[in-house]
């Protein structure tokens, strides 16, 4: 199974791109071997959504200073050893924390492969509208996802 999880806050402009992308994929429809999930802002929810999946795709917004709408593809391994905050609580537990503790917590049910797509945000102020560059990037990413993950159940490389 492939789990595609969109993360972000729908009430903070471009930060909502992950959940909005998931809603668009629901409208399009997906193969039976693909599970779609709105991860929202709760990393613990993401942890349970990825449990048992062979391959996980996470989509979120980012703010790196790059051109708004830039799409980054990052291997999940990049997040497996991030340092966790000393005072980590469930309200501050993000999807990257879920990846970091997931291998230890989920053991054999941890995904074999994780791919993270980040879209550079232009606006994360309060509001529910995506900026034009992020809308365009989201549409491009939907096509990438359909091409890479909807054609057939992929084999995970070791």
Domain containing residue 133: CATH number: 3.40.50.1450
More confident site: 142 or 47: 142
Within-domain flag for 155: no
Q: What is the spatial distance between Cα 136 and Cα 149, in angstroms, rounded to a whole number?
A: 20
pLDDT of 157 strictly over 60: no
Partners of residue 4 on adjacent β-strands:
36, 57
Segment 121-152, tens digit of pLDDT: 999 999 989 999 999 999 999 999 999 999 87
Measured CA to CA, the distance from residue 8 to residue 40 in angstroms comes to 5
Asked whether residue 67 is assigned to any structural domain, the reply reads yes
Q: CA triplet 35, 121, 53: central angle to 5 degrees?
A: 20
| 14 lies in some domain | yes
pTM (2 d.p.) = 0.88
Domain count, the chain: 1
Q: Does 41 reside within a domain?
A: yes
Q: How confident is the model at residue 92 (pLDDT cuts 50, 70, 90)?
A: low
Cα 104 to Cα 5, 32, 70, 90, distances in angstroms? 20, 28, 32, 17
Query: What is the C-alpha R_g of the chain?
Result: 15
* 61-83 residue pLDDT tens: 999 999 999 999 999 888 777 66
For residue 156, being part of any structural domain is answered with no
Could you tell me if residue 37 is inside a domain?
yes
Distance CA 137, CA 75 (A): 19
Average pLDDT (40-53) is: 84
- Adjacent-strand bridge partners of 34: 2
The whole domain housing 119 covers 2-149
Task: Give a yes or no: residue 154 inside a domain.
Answer: no
Least confident of 10-19, 30-39, 99-108, 148-157: 148-157
């Amino acid at each position: 199974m492939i789990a595609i999880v969109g993360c972000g806050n729908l009430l903070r402009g471009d930060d909502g791109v992950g959940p909005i992308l998931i809603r668009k994929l629901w409208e399009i429809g997906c193969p039976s071997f693909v599970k779609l999930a709105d991860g929202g802002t709760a990393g613990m929810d993401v942890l349970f959504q990825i449990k048992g999946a062979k391959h996980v795709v996470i989509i979120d917004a980012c703010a790196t200073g790059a051109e708004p709408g830039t799409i980054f593809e990052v291997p999940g391994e990049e997040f497996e050893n991030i340092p966790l905050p000393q005072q980590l609580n469930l309200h501050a537990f993000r999807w990257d924390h879920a990846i970091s503790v997931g291998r230890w917590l989920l053991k054999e049910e941890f995904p074999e492969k994780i791919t993270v797509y980040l879209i550079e945000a232009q606006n994360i102020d309060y509001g529910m509208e995506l900026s034009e560059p992020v809308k365009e990037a989201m549409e491009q990413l939907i096509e990438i996802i359909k091409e890479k993950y909807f054609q057939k159940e992929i084999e995970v490389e070791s």
